[in-house]
Structure 1
Amino acid sequence: MHKGSCLCRAVRFEVSSSLETTATDACHCKQCRKWTGHFLASVEVPRDSLLINGSEYISWHHSSEKVRRGFCSKCGSSLFFDPLDTTKHNWTGIALGSFDTPTETTLGQHIFVAEKGDYYEINDGLPQNEY
């Protein structure tokens, strides 16, 4: 069981499945950089393994026709990246920094590196996908 929360702990969550390195990434797209202040490191978990407490404090921003982003309405913590097409995507992305317990995983890849900020370099040897 993996547990996590927002900064003020109004939103708490539990993940009953394992967190796989193949499902972790760092997204460098412009939207994720605006949303988090840098890039989003996240893990995809099956929707049915995610239990959320305090969902009334989650505000959802529909950042495109394909996805919504969940954050705490009290403290502003970036928490969830949620594809709207649930028939194609049976997962929710969770910000790795929001976990309270060790994730026992590592990043698997970098995505949208064509949009990365000009103030840093990616030199950790992980696969880099332009989009």
Structure 2
Amino acid sequence: MHTGSCLCGKVTFKVSGDLPAPSACHCSQCRKHSGHFEASTDVPRSAVTVQGEDHVTWFHSSEKVRRGFCSHCGSSLFWDPLDREKHDWTAIAMGAFDTPTGTHLERHIFVADKGDYYDIADGLPQNEK
């Protein structure tokens, strides 16, 4: 069982089972939503329990996805595909988990869009998109 929350604690969550290896997304939307790049793990929806859902605000950042954040403190929490028949998972921001998580970054994605103020030098695979 893994637990986590937003900064103010109004939204808490539990994830049953192991956390899949997260990826770090460097696309412009993730950078603007998180303030840097976003690291998240994709977990089955059935493994996630959220308390304080009434404090989660959803922003539809495209026709295919919505991003969830705490309406009180602004913490970035979720990245959720809208096509639930095709995607039975949701992504949870790694920074919102209580530690230890027992996992490590697997790869970097959308590195073609990364900010110019940092380098990726950890030796992990990097996907342009």
TM-score of Structure 1 vs Structure 2, range by shorter chain = over 0.9
Matches within 5 A, 1:65-84: 65-84=63-82
Report the Cα distance in structure 2 between the residues aligned to 1:46 and 1:126, rounded to whole angstroms: 25
- Name the CA distance, whole Å, in 1 between partners of 2:4 and 2:57: 17
Contact 1:58/1:70, CA 8 A, preserved across alignment:
yes
Q: Which residue of 1 aligns with 2:15?
A: 15
Residues 17 and 46 in structure 1, CA contact (< 8 A), matched pair in contact too: no
SS in 1 for 2:78: strand
> Is 1:29–1:112's contact at 8 Å kept on the other side of the alignment?
yes
- Cα distance in 2 between the residues matched to 1:36 and 1:30: 10
Show the counterpart of 2:28. Answer: 30
Q: Write out the 4+ residue segments of structure 1 that deviate beyond 2 Å after TM superposition.
A: none
Matches of 1:57 and 1:129 in 2, distance apart? Answer: 34
Q: How far is 1:17 from its partner?
A: 2.0
Q: What code does the residue aligned with 2:123 have?
A: G
Q: What do the CA deviations read for 1:3-54 (whole angstroms, capped 9, x no partner)?
A: 0000000000000121122xx1000000000000000010010000000000
Q: Give the letter aligned to residue 63 of structure 2.
A: E
Structure 2 residue aligned with 1:129:
127
Matched residues, number: 129
Deviation at 1:109? 0.5
Aligned-pair identity in percent equals 65
- The TM-score with structure 2 as length reference comes to 0.98
Q: Give a deviation string over 1:60-104, Cα, whole Å, max 9, x none.
A: 000000000000000000000000011111110000000013110
Between the aligned partners of 1:8 and 1:20, the Cα distance in structure 2 is: 26
CA distance in 2, matches of 1:84, 1:13: 20
